Amino acid sequence: MPSEYLPYNAVRVPRNITRLVIFSSDMVFTMVSWVGASYLLYGFERAPVMQLLYSWPTLVLIALRFLSFLWFRSWNIILRYVGEKDYFHAFLTVWSPSAVFSMIYLVGFVPAYGLRVLAIVWVDFFIMLSLMVGFRMALRMVYDWLKVRQNHRKATAIFGAGEMGSMLERVIRYNASNEFRIDAFFDDNPKVHGKRLNGIPVFNPQKSFSKMVAKYGIEVVILGIRDLPPARKASFINQCLAHQIRVLKLPPVESWLHGELNLRLLKNINLEDLLGRAPILLDEAALRASIQGKTVLVTGCAGSIGSEILRQLLRQEPAFVLGVDQAESPLAEIALELKTVVEEGRFLPVIGDVRDADRMARLFEEYRPEYVFHAAAYKHVPIMEDFPEEAIKSNVLGTRVLADLAVQHQAEKFVMISTDKAVNPSNVMGASKRIAEIYVQALNYSEACATQFITTRFGNVLGSNGSVIPIFKEQIEKGLPLTVTHPDIKRFFMTIPEACSLVLEASAMGHGGEIFVFDMGEQLRILDLAHRMIQIYGLTPGKDVEIQFIGLRPGEKLYEELLDHKETLAETHHPKIFRAQVRPGDFHQIRSDIDLLIAGAQNGWRPAELVQTMKTLVPEFVSQNSVFSELDNKEPQT
């Protein structure tokens, strides 16, 4: 593209022509303002005005103005970026010759022409400044109007008429190739309602949202407030989605390039923004005191939960973190992400299988971990229904291997990541996790056990590998229908950082034997999540994207629970963490029963035999929508 043209999608006018127009206009304004000021001060009498115009003061002033235009390069501006600094520059350009002329006039011209000419000069100053600034503003407005017409930009509103919203509006206005046209601001602050910001009206979203959306045809809303309370953010986003408005949000300030916002970094809102949960406040001092300087082992470190535990752990300054995972590619990705701490020798990623007792024993002997966070597990319900032996070997055997090694090597704490599916389990996966819970809790109270075993239990996490949200996202982006198992199915949800923060908090407060249950709020209907996901993409459920009900999958139930009927909750010092009060069983009997179950999984027992043994260990395990329902003498749920 030739250099004399503006960027792509802008109004293309050669720069030299633009400069010539501006310079010529300024010279014309010089004469107009001087003549106008003369007529004003001489009471519109023609004779004295004409005498002044053909005098030396007029020639001196015009010459000074001409030199000032050259010195300050007043014509060398970029129309689309004209702003406050350009207006100040224009002020200096006009003020300088007026000031110099006044000094010259006082020295050499007063006796001949009188003091009235000085008054004319300063009236001329105000007229000239108004003409220059007004002309530049008019040029920019014409440029913006032509640019918007050419680009067919989307009618956009900004939520937040403060400093951040004002900056965002300027960035959008000055950017030649973006898709937005700011038509309105929304703000909760009553002090700005009815006012204008950069000429754009500010409205109260709680009173006039629907009316203004219809009036301006708003298609997009950008959240222009960084510290908006989560509940208010969720409420406003839902308000937008109900009107089929696409919502974007600013990226974190630390991701701005050199402290400047790049519009390409604007992000679609996500389901985490719709949860409306207040940020979790941790006892940072207690957490750091428990972790700082310790050697920590994290299993499943490349998974959604394990990797976030890693990130949050490293902020607490442990001496060394050992991360174990059997998945090669995800482990390589987390190693690359944490390359700096790997090079510093604070984190070591290791390929390994928690079921491999010899491999795990060598790691314990070499690194002597003081804390163990056990996140490795098989978690997909329908798959584990087909392969119960693998669920047993991974979730039960793997946990037992690590727990026994933690006791043998006198680790201080062992934190097991469990699931709400372990409560009154309806599937093999949930039952296998419940058996693991039973084992570590019984081991905690066994003789000569110095390790504190702590179990954390929570529901689904948004965005985890294989969860419903990434599946919905992929289906929408491929133009496929969204598949929901049942219109009434519900699940508890947390964000990954929320869940991991509570895991670390529970690890610091636990003394051994506890099952900590997290407050996950209300269960959410998966159908409602599907609707919201479609709306987040600016589409209409049932019109742009269909929703198909495919029936409950093997092992699924309509809703999850955080406690079974034998458990009660006790409060802790943290408002989102509760302690389930469960009486541990006899360790030796439990160990014997689990040994039998593991031997069956390793020696080729039929699936029905394995599941029947699991039901003996977990009497509340009642299969749902599964071939194993016949073991309960009940009809499968459909």
What secondary structure letter does DSSP report for 80?
G
The token duo for 154 is 């989307």
Nearest 5°: CA angle at 620, between 615 and 624? 80
| Residue the block writes with tokens 């000055």 | 174
Contacts of 371 (CB under 8 A, 6+ apart): 291, 294, 295, 296, 297, 318, 411, 412, 413, 414, 415, 507
- Rounded-to-integer distance, Cα 364 and Cα 407, Å: 11
Q: What are phi and psi of 199, to 5 degrees?
A: 85, 0
Q: What are phi and psi of 319, to 5 degrees?
A: -70, -40
The token duo for 454 is 């702590």
Residues 357 and 310 sit within 8 Å (Cβ to Cβ): no
The token duo for 96 is 């300088």
CB-count burial class (<10 Å; 0-12, 13-18, 19+) for 190: exposed
Contacts of 482 (CB under 8 A, 6+ apart): 472, 475, 476, 530, 533, 534, 545, 546, 547, 548
Nearest 5°: CA angle at 576, between 570 and 577? 45
> Which of 233, 249, 413, 421 is flagged as catalytic?
421
| Residue the block writes with tokens 């900004």 | 158
- From the centroid of its chain, how far is CA 543? 28
Residue 615: active-site member:
no
Which sequence positions are flagged as catalytic? 421
